[in-house]
Structure formats: C-alpha cells, structure tokens
C-alpha cells in the first residue's frame, strides 16, 4: 500500500534520531478540540493545538491485509474531576476523531506535513475516577464499521418527501398496505 508521506517527513523518520509528536483532533457537541503531545501551544493546519505533554495516551494503530474496521482507544489523564460530567455530556457517538504523527526539529518546528494515522468516529467515553483527577478513555471506530451496519430505508411518502421534496411517487404507498389485489383471471 502506498503512503503519502512527504519526503521531508520520510527523511526524518529514517534518520538515527528524531523527536516524534502526535496531533489529536476530536469533534464534540460544543466544538472541536485540538491537542498534541508537546508542552506548549503550537500552530499547524491553521489551528492552535494545545500541548498536553505526557497526559495523552496514544493507542497502537494497526493495519491488516483484510478489509476490517480496527478501532482505537485514546486516553487523557489528569482531567480534573469537576470536568468529568462536562465531558460525558459533550461526547456524541459518530463525531469525528483524527490522529496524525509528525516529526519535530530541534527548533520545535513541525517538519513537512504530519501523516494521518487514524481517522474514525467517536464511540462511548470511559472514565476511571481517582482522588482529584480522572482518566478519560475515548473509544473510536474506524469508518469501515459502517459496512457492518444495515441501512434503514422506508419506502414511504414521508421518506421520499424528505429526500426529494415535491416528488409524489410514493404518495399512495400507505393505502396499498391492506389492499387486496387479484392477479390473473378470476373464476
């Protein structure tokens, strides 16, 4: 499988020493969160990413030859207990979650373009409560999980009107439900 890693990032990854960083984007009902594994704020992709240092747990991201949906579990430790209920109420299943890997040079600048390791959909967050702080674990599903879900389509006038306003092709479907139709010749 070919990769779209830039030559600068590839050169850095093949060198004997480099500093690695991860960028994590998650969409919540109140807005989008941008965090990274550094300690200071950094600007990349026209966004300011907040540094959380070692408080963010990055999962191992795996690929297989088979077409299957591999999920990931991201964690953030040191979350004040007062923010736990806010996080629980703000998380929505199906919201976007993305993870990039990048190389950082000695000046603290991002080298070339970070590579997107994972893109998926938010699932239910888990919480491990401690004394003053908690650990939030956010499960994410790969978008391929949608292949396992059935599509629910109802052939009703309401469904047709929602999709194609003004189309009257299904307006009599409800009256056909209990209608007796004789096929062929009657004796």
Print pLDDT tens along the chain (187 aa): 346 787 878 887 777 777 889 999 999 888 898 999 988 899 999 999 998 888 888 877 777 777 777 788 888 888 777 777 777 788 888 899 999 999 988 788 888 789 998 899 998 888 888 778 888 888 888 877 666 667 778 888 888 888 899 998 888 888 888 888 888 876 6
At 90 the pLDDT is 86
163 secondary structure, DSSP code: H
The answer to whether residues 142 and 162 belong to one domain is no
Q: Which residues contact 36 (CB under 8 A, 6 or more apart)?
A: 21, 22, 23, 24, 42, 49, 50, 51, 52
The answer to whether residues 127 and 64 belong to one domain is yes
At 145 the pLDDT is 67
The answer to whether residues 99 and 14 belong to one domain is yes
Residue at 186 is within a domain: no
In DSSP terms, 50 is beta-bridged to 35
Question: Do 167 and 155 meet the contact criterion of CB atoms below 8 Å apart?
Answer: no
The answer to whether residues 82 and 68 belong to one domain is yes
The answer to whether residues 114 and 160 belong to one domain is no
pTM over 0.75: no
CA distances from 48 to 24, 32, 35, 51, 116 (A): 12, 11, 8, 10, 17
The answer to whether residues 17 and 73 belong to one domain is yes
What CA–CA distance (Å, rounded) separates 160 from 131?
Answer: 54
The answer to whether residues 157 and 144 belong to one domain is no
């Amino acid at each position: 499988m070919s990769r779209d890693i830039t030559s600068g990032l590839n050169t850095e990854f093949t060198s004997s020493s480099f500093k690695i960083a991860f960028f994590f984007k998650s969409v919540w009902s109140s807005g989008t969160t941008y965090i990274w594994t550094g300690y200071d704020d950094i600007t990349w992709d026209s966004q300011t990413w907040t540094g959380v240092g070692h408080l963010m747990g990055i999962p191992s991201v795996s690929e297989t030859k088979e077409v299957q949906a591999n999920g990931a579990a991201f964690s953030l430790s040191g979350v004040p207990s007062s923010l736990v209920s806010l996080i629980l109420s703000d998380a929505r299943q199906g919201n976007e979650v993305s993870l990039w890997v990048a190389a950082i040079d000695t000046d603290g600048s991002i080298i070339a373009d970070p590579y997107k390791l994972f893109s998926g959909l938010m699932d239910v967050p888990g919480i491990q409560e401690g004394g003053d702080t908690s650990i939030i674990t956010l499960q994410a599903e790969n978008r391929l999980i949608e292949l396992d879900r059935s599509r629910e389509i109802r052939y009703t006038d309401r469904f047709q009107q929602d999709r194609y306003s003004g189309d009257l092709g299904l307006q009599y479907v409800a009256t056909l439900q209990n209608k007796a139709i004789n096929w062929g010749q009657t004796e």
